């Protein structure tokens, strides 16, 4: 895993400046229907969501209108601009090819 920044995400430049602009543009261009958001606690929460495309994680963040950190495959952190943006936003890299992960999945362990 890659280390997360020590700065709380709500203090990061990306979160305070870029997020509101990107959110406004995205929600204007892509209609989003939100159901069940009232069930998500306001404080800390673990949100487990599957996604069908690269657009889903940003749209989830925009819909929740709160600071969200994602686990993303570590290969994404190696892409020059995207990797920097992921780190600035406080996301975590996950090594999907780790033998321990495969062994855990094969054994039927809950993850």
Residue with tokens 């889903």: 56
Least confident piece of the model among 8-17, 64-73, 100-109 = 8-17
Query: Exposed (0-12), middle (13-18) or buried (19+): which is 11, by Cβ within 10 Å?
Result: exposed
Q: How many CB atoms lie within 10 A of CB 62?
A: 19
Distance, CA of 106 to CA of 68 (rounded, Å): 30
> What is the enclosing helix (H) or strand (E) of 25?
helix 19-29
Distance, CA of 16 to CA of 96 (rounded, Å): 31
The whole-number pLDDT of residue 31 equals 78
Structural domain boundaries in the chain: 9-36+46-107
**Position 12 confidence tier, pLDDT thresholds 50, 70, 90:** low
The whole-number pLDDT of residue 79 equals 93
Average pLDDT over residues 51-75: 82
């Amino acid at each position: 895993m890659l280390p997360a920044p020590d700065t709380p995400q709500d203090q990061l430049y990306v979160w305070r400046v870029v997020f509101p602009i990107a959110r406004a543009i995205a929600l204007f261009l892509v209609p989003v229907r939100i159901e069940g958001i009232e069930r998500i606690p306001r404080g800390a929460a673990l949100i487990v969501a599957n996604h069908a495309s690269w657009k889903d994680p940003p749209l989830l963040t925009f819909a929740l209108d709160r600071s969200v950190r994602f686990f993303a495959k570590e290969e994404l952190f190696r892409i020059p601009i995207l990797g920097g943006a992921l780190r600035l936003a406080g996301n975590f890299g996950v090594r999907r090819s780790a033998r321990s992960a495969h062994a855990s999945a094969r054994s039927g362990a809950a993850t």
